[in-house]
Amino acid sequence: MASYYAMALLCMLAFSISGATALDDNVLQTTLYIKQSFAQDQRSGGTDIAIINWPIKDGPGAAANTIGHAEGLTTQADPAKKPFWVTIMDMVFEDGSLAGSSLEVMGLHSSKNVNNGQGQWSVMGGTGELTMARGIINYNITQEDSASRTFELCIFVYYTPLEGIMALGDIGRKP
């Protein structure tokens, strides 16, 4: 009898926990490009640190539109792993269908000749339409020379728009 009640209680608990944390998940799956120009759109922030403002493009070529900027910094944190940069950036969208939103992104990259120029960055948050964003960016360095580097970004992100959770006026409301 006691174990029956314990099980019933556990079931109720499981139900209420999953009910309370269910998010209205949306998926953003898109391919975008970042153009890194070493003498432009970035400046030194000290030894092994560059402050970045890389344009985000909607295509790989010169004719592509700039739809935002990757703002943040990139640093060679581990001297033993010298060709690797860790980048911490806010991908701010200013034009196109994502205008007004942003993604918070972090991860390592090297050059085209390391790991075939491929790797992953994690997406840990977002704003605007992309609130509660979490996911992954698989990147491929598709172009690199002494002046620039182009990243192709395959973005896969779950997000929950703010209006699905609460209105701005509800913040601070007493339970």
Ligand X SMILES: *[C@@H]1O[C@H](CO)[C@@H](O)[C@H](O)[C@H]1NC(C)=O
Q: Which residue number, 49 or 154, has a Cβ lying nearer to ligand X?
A: 154
The pair of structure tokens assigned to 3 is 């174990």
Judged by the rule CB under 6 A, the positions of this chain that interact with ligand X are 140, 142
Minimum separation from the CB atom of position 157 to ligand X (A): 19
Q: Which residue number, 127 or 140, has a Cβ lying nearer to ligand X?
A: 140
Q: What is the C-alpha separation between 36 and 83, in angstroms, rounded? A: 16
Q: Which residue number, 40 or 142, has a Cβ lying nearer to ligand X?
A: 142
Minimum separation from the CB atom of position 154 to ligand X (A): 8
**Are β-strands 134-144 and 118-127 bridged in parallel, bridged antiparallel, or unpaired?**
antiparallel
- Which of 85, 77, 121, 76 is closest to 103 using CA atoms? 121
Q: What is the C-alpha separation between 88 and 107, in angstroms, rounded? A: 7
Minimum separation from the CB atom of position 69 to ligand X (A): 23
Q: What is the C-alpha separation between 89 and 109, in angstroms, rounded? A: 13
Minimum separation from the CB atom of position 70 to ligand X (A): 19
Q: Which residue number, 21 or 146, has a Cβ lying nearer to ligand X?
A: 146
